Amino acid sequence: MNTTDLDELLNAVLPTMEGSRAELLQQIITELGSRAEWKAEALLNMVRGYEAATTMHFPQALDDMQRALSLFKEHGHGLGVAYSLKNIGDIYTTMNDYSPALD
């Protein structure tokens, strides 16, 4: 994206907001950064969970997947919630603990 594209985007999307372009751009960057931060944390927890499950450290895997699930729920990310629940169920199934897997 070049500067002209950015100017057009700011003019089209942000006409009602007050402040200089630099301030508006900083607000956008801050907002995008905060969104990316929780997603990165959730995905990191899922990766840790996969690694722990692969090495048969199931309690750690469940803990990491629960952390990811909590972040996805908190931010209303339905697909992340679904993946987390599936992974938690898979871990319980691997442990031959079918009751929690069904929940």
Predicted local distance difference test score (pLDDT) of residue 73: 92
Model confidence over 44-94: pLDDT tens digits? 778 888 788 888 888 888 998 899 999 889 988 898 899 899 989 988 988
Mean pLDDT, rounded, of the chain:
76
The three-class DSSP label of residue 38 is helix
- Under 8 Å between Cβ of 91 and 54: no
pTM: predicted TM-score of the whole model, two decimal places:
0.62
pLDDT at 1 over 50: no
**Residue ranges of domains in the chain, CATH in brackets:** 3-102 (1.25.40)
Q: Residue 15: is its pLDDT beyond 70?
A: no
Block residue for tokens 């840790």: 48
